[in-house]
Amino acid sequence: MNMLEIEGLNVWFGTARDRVDAVKAASFSVAQGQSFGLVGESGSGKSTILRAITGLAPTWSGKITVAGQPVLAKRSKSFFKTVQMVFQDPYASLHPRHSVDQVLGETLYLHGFKDIDARVVKLLDDVGLGQKFRFRYPHQLSGGQRQRVAIARALAPEPTLLLLDEPTSALDVSVQAEILNLLVDLRQEHHLTYLMVSHDLSVVGHMCDSLAVMKDGEIVEIMDVAALRRMEATHPYAQHLLQASV
């Protein structure tokens, strides 16, 4: 079964003269349990696809299907239980005046969980932080620890599809290795499906099973990671991107 299906997705910003078509007729599908990568240069629309799925970019047309359910303009509560997103910059995506406990507790409360205390403890253990970080504020955490909190928050509603928007690009390579290992482990433990945006082809090669290459809002090529490793891209832009990243 396909966890996520996207058909003829268009996303635009602005109107008339200022209209920018950020995504043009994008189509792809991600099978249950798969990890799918979106690569391309900045402004190619890869993050916009994630934002359109979650509802952060409200002006879109086309068809988005998550776990067999078509996504409508008004997203249901169950949608947000199924789909969660981890953002690029852990320095910007956590509320500076909320402790880790508040961040996770509020998410759990909003999703109607009753055993919040036990779940906060479990979430922190799951992302390898442990209890002593529970009452800290974001400024008392390093970048890697913050990203772990952001991942814990995304895991709180027990989603099946995680949207990862450049989850390690703000981190050091040594910390990146830890977070990527964590994401690989979590995917196995929780049977998650990943849709990951990255500009780093080697990160996508490490994390994903297949990927789509985007340019100027269009998907120019979809290939699997084996082909990526063999450097077998057919579209000239994809070839150019492969060469530039080695």
Partner 1 sequence: MERLLDIENLWVKFPTRQGIFDAVRGVSFSLGRERLGIVGESGSGKSMTGRAILRLIRSPGMVEADHINLDGENILAKSEKDMRAVRGQRISMVMQDPKFSLNPVMTIGEQIIEAYRLHSKASKADAHAKSLEMLEAVSIRNPERVMRAYPHEMSGGMGQRIMIAMMLIPNPEILIADEPTSALDVSVQRQVLDIMDRLVKERGMGLIFISHDLNLVADFCDRVLIMYSGRIVEVCEADKLHEATHPYTRGLLNSLPRLDAPKDRLEVLRRDPAWSEAASVSGRV
The residue ranges that bind partner 1 (CB under 8 A) are 40-43, 143, 172-178, 180-181, 184, 199-203, 205-206, 228-229, 240-241, 244-246
Q: Whole-number minimum distance, CB 229 to partner 1, in Å?
A: 6
Give all strands of the β-sheet with 2-13 in edge-to-edge order: 20-31, 2-13, 60-66, 69-70
CA distance 32 to 209: 12
Q: Whole-number minimum distance, CB 83 to partner 1, in Å?
A: 26
Q: Specify the residue, 163 or 208, whose C-beta has the smaller distance to partner 1.
A: 208
Consecutive H or E run containing 238? helix 236-245
What residues contact residue 51 under an 8 Å CB cut-off, 6+ apart?
A: 11, 57
Q: Whole-number minimum distance, CB 46 to partner 1, in Å?
A: 10
Q: Specify the residue, 23 or 66, whose C-beta has the smaller distance to partner 1.
A: 23
Q: Specify the residue, 6 or 208, whose C-beta has the smaller distance to partner 1.
A: 208
**Cα distances (Å, whole numbers) of residue 118 to 114, 121, 138:** 9, 5, 21
Q: Specify the residue, 53 or 228, whose C-beta has the smaller distance to partner 1.
A: 228
CA distance 9 to 52: 9
Q: Whole-number minimum distance, CB 230 to partner 1, in Å?
A: 10
Q: Which amino acid is at 26?
A: A
Q: Whole-number minimum distance, CB 176 to partner 1, in Å?
A: 7
CB-CB contact of 57 with 46 (8 Å): no
Q: Specify the residue, 102 or 169, whose C-beta has the smaller distance to partner 1.
A: 169
